[in-house]
Structure 1
Amino acid sequence: MKAKSYIYVLILTFLLGACVSPPDNFPTVPEISFADVSYVELDNSIDSLLVSVKFRDAEGDLGLDARDINPPFHPLEYQRDGQGNLITYANRPSEAPSYNPIDWVIDPIVDNVEVMDTIWVEQNPNFSNIFIQFFIKRNGTFTEFKWSDPPYYTTFNGRFPVILEGDNQRAIEGTIKYSMRSSGWRSIFRNDTVRLDIQIQDRALNKSNTVSTPEFTLNQISK
């Protein structure tokens, strides 16, 4: 087997292993598998729901950093009318949503100019590189719990950092440990049976397969 440049990575602790010869079948599209899920509850603090997935990727083009805000990794698409003008809340068309903190932003900076108004936007999914869906089991069936719906208007999609700096592509495998922090886990899920679906995306916008955690309650995975 031909030797290749290869690295093993544990995201968030940035532990880099020695170079070895990886298998020849590392995928161009990231490939992930479930590793672990746990819940850490702290007195008088924000609790953490942690999920870990193992990954393999042929090019190692995984991760985004804070400077990655230009297309295709920009956070927002600003909605415009037929004349190219930004759509404000006061002049919104009938199909525009009512005000909420996902679909509207206040006083944004657009093309390096601060716009002193409330502007209609669309979230760019490529701003994130890890995607988390929540499901709750009711009457034996899992139904998606949509954080983007009222009253939460949020998401637990996010970013993990760049793994390999520079343009030197190489095969990598490792583990991503992703922490989702909230003070409301207990009040929302209580004794519910929950499942998470996880997917990642590389810098070429290739989405991995989706993996699921086993079903769990917070008590079952508490540490």
Structure 2
Amino acid sequence: MKKYIYFLFLCAIFLLFSCKKKEPFSEIPAISFVSFSKINDGSGSDNQGKLTIAFQDGDGDLGLDEGDINPPFDTSSVYYYNFFVDYYKKQNGEFVLLSTMSDSRHARFPRLSDDVPESIEGELSVTLYINTYDFSTVYDTLKLECFIVDRALNHSNVIITPEIVVKKR
């Protein structure tokens, strides 16, 4: 009987210490770069690419659905979008912000969880236009700088991709 009680006691201790408490994430979203891949559309040019990031959010309020159109998420607001991208083009060895890409640079991704506050993490992929259509050269070298915003308008950290060589024609 003592062996049985001793065995149960050891099992209880083992179970108690083997369960790790899940560390909560910050309510401010955090992102990290995962990958960037060009999408082959058969044209011979690099027109689009898929950017994948990893994310963590402590209260799960990431994403917007079709019903999120009232302020501050209305179409006239910068917060209509929740995935923000700036394009930088390599010129004379330095990366310069491309203001000409402003029309197609931001995106809106759908809600990633319901309205129950909970920590979430995962990966998010967004398809972006990458061709600058400046045909003075055959290739461009770009970097993308991006961040996301949650429904409480908390901005994540900013990440920068590695260099992306784009074939323009």
Q: Is the 8 A contact 2:104 2:128 kept in 1?
A: no
Change (3 A) 1:72 1:25: same
SS of the residue corresponding to residue 147 of structure 1 reads helix
Alignment root-mean-square deviation, CA = 2.5
Residue type at the aligned position of 1:177: S
Change (3 A) 1:181 1:137: closer
The whole-number CA distance in structure 2 between the counterparts of 1:134 and 1:141 is 13
- What is the TM-score when the length of structure 1 is the normalising length? 0.59
- What is the TM-score when the length of structure 2 is the normalising length? 0.77
How many residues matched? 146
Runs of 4+ aligned structure 1 residues displaced above 6 Å come to none
Give the aligned partner of residue 143 of structure 1. 96
> Within the alignment, does 1:64 sit opposite 2:64 as a pair?
yes
Which among 90, 107, 110 is matched to residue 161 of structure 1? 110
Give the aligned partner of residue 165 of structure 2. 217
The whole-number CA distance in structure 2 between the counterparts of 1:22 and 1:39 is 39
Change (3 A) 1:188 1:65: farther
The whole-number CA distance in structure 2 between the counterparts of 1:133 and 1:23 is 34
Larger radius of gyration: 2
The whole-number CA distance in structure 1 between the counterparts of 2:21 and 2:52 is 22
Change (3 A) 1:32 1:63: same
> Within the alignment, does 1:129 sit opposite 2:82 as a pair?
yes
Structure 1 or 2: more helix by fraction: 2
Unaligned runs of 5+ in 2: 1-19
Quote the offset at 1:155 in angstroms.
Answer: 3.2
Give the aligned partner of residue 8 of structure 1. none
Which among 89, 111, 123 is matched to residue 175 of structure 1? 123
Give the aligned partner of residue 205 of structure 1. 153
Q: Is the 8 A contact 2:25 2:56 kept in 1?
A: yes
User: Which string of whole-angstrom CA distances, capped at 9 and with x for unpartnered residues, describes residues 21-43 of structure 1?
Assistant: 77424111000000111111212
The whole-number CA distance in structure 1 between the counterparts of 2:132 and 2:95 is 19
Give the aligned partner of residue 53 of structure 2. 53
| Percent of aligned pairs sharing the same letter | 33
